[in-house]
Homo-oligomer: A and B are copies of this chain.
Amino acid sequence: MRKILLVILDGMGDRPCPNLGGRTPLESAATPNMDRLAREGMTGLMDVIAPGIAPGSDTAHLALLGYDPLEVYTGRGAFEAAGTGVDIRRGDVAFRCNFGTVDGLMKVIDRRAGRISSGTAELATVLNGMRIEDVEVIFKEAVEHRAVLVLRGPDLSSDVTDVDPHEVGAEVLSSTPLRPEAQKTARILNEFTRKSYELLKDHEVNVRRMEEGKPPANIAMARGAGSPPDVPPFSELHGMSGAAVVGISLVEGVCRVSGLDIMDVPGATGGLDTDLGQKVEATIRALGTHDFVLLHIKGTDICGHDDSPETKADFIAKADAALGRLIEGLGDLEEDIVICVTADHSTPCCVMDHSADPVPLLVWGKGLRHDGVETFGEHAAAHGGLGKIRGKDLLNILKGQAGRAEKYGA
């Protein structure tokens, strides 16, 4: 059985760009490594969700990990929570939170507590680990004023309204249940909100802030309740261990909820300045210990959203060079691996957003079939031997090529 490396260039798929002589960024970029894999392997196009559907990065990654998003997706909330590094389990309810500033009557003075940038870890510590009734409270700070709240316990529901009033001058809201079974969750969330004010208002971090004339971060306001999708862990579903090297927290959240091990990558920023060398190192390390590794690179998507075809092409060329170093670094494993390079969706520069255009795809492995397509690009891949596939079938195809498919029947 071979190992599997799945390289996702976020939003790489594009349309003909007038600035690039009618080629797409991928077609315009110098990509000797992807071209070699395409030439020696099979190519095709992929509707990541379904024909005519513009995928989000979360639903797309669910599909690429072999889950059917149309069946299991429950919204972005739990993925964003998991993306901060909090371990989210089935049955949990997760919220995005803001540290905010309220007056003594619970009226919002600043929804972001002056975009507080330090001290939130200490503030989070006093909220984390609290118990309310039979529910455990997990609370973790994120970037700036942002944080994540997870409620863990029996009979919770994500059908509750926000506490965050979303406007300055308004009072902090009382969460209400959207259906009777959510009554307990709303009650616990309201109790948590009340307690957060009690525990934070005189906290030394806030005393110091007030001395400095800054608004205190004296409340945690939750919004966007979400539950993780009810999916079997990746290793159970696919019979192999998996790890992920990811560029952004939303995708990290999907991978974490799916049970992949998240590799720690110093220097990975999720931007165009990300340290691709470090990501390559982490990927090679992960392949040493796992059967399946997902390498996710974000920069391409950013260029699509910004309508920067030249920058997108440059970044694709850099990613290709990194892929070259990765393949070199495989050593003997090169004989014994299946590599797939594709995207989670198209972000055409002319659209400046995710589109429903299918993404190009290559599947390569020593001794596998090839299809006569000579380069890797959207137009060439339309004639590839893999034809047009659906995202949720990809991992099965890769497992088949890696000798990991189970025989169905006798």
| Residues of A participating in the B interface, judged by any CB pair closer than 8 Å | 15-16, 18, 42, 45, 49-60, 69, 73, 76, 79, 250, 350-351, 353-357, 367-372, 378-379, 382-389, 393, 395-401, 403, 405-410
Contact = CB atoms under 8 A, between A and B. Distances in A.
Main SS class of interface, A = loop
B368 A379 contact: no
B378 A408 contact: no
Nearest to A409: B56
Given A45-B387, A76-B409, A370-B16, A396 B250 contact: no
A45 B385 contact: yes
A15 B387 contact: no
A222 to B, nearest CB: 18
A45 B50 CA distance: 17
B15 A368 contact: yes
Contacts of A58: 409-410
A231 to B, nearest CB: 15
Of A73, A384, A387, A399, the most chain B CB neighbours within 10 A belong to A387
A400 B346 CA distance: 11
Nearest to A372: B379
Given A383-B385, A387-B388, A400-B54, A49 B371 contact: no
A371 B355 CA distance: 18
Given A356-B401, A401-B356, A408 B51 contact: no
Nearest to A49: B408
Number of copies: 2
A356 B58 CA distance: 28
Given A350-B367, A387-B387, A407 B56 contact: yes
3 closest cross-chain pairs (CB), A and B? A56-B409, A52-B396, A356-B400
B54 A395 contact: no
Contact of A409 (B55, B353, B386): B55
A62 to B, nearest CB: 8
A386 B56 CA distance: 22
Given A355-B400, A393-B50, A393-B51, A15 B367 contact: yes
A148 B354 CA distance: 48
B76 A410 contact: yes
Nearest to A382: B385
Contact of A59 (B49, B393, B408): B408
Contacts of A49: 408-409
A54 B408 contact: yes
Nearest to A75: B410
A378 B15 CA distance: 25
Contacts of A387: 45, 382, 387-388
Contacts of A351: 403
Contacts of A400: 51-54, 355-357
B397 A52 contact: yes
A368 to B, nearest CB: 6
A19 to B, nearest CB: 12
Of A56, A370, A397, the most chain B CB neighbours within 10 A belong to A397
Given A351-B403, A368-B15, A382-B371, A356 B396 contact: yes
5 contacts: A50-B393, A51-B396, A56-B410, A371-B382, A382-B387
Nearest to A392: B51
A406 B54 contact: yes
Given A52-B393, A350-B367, 7 more contacts: A53-B408, A59-B408, A60-B409, A353-B407, A369-B378, A371-B382, A383-B383
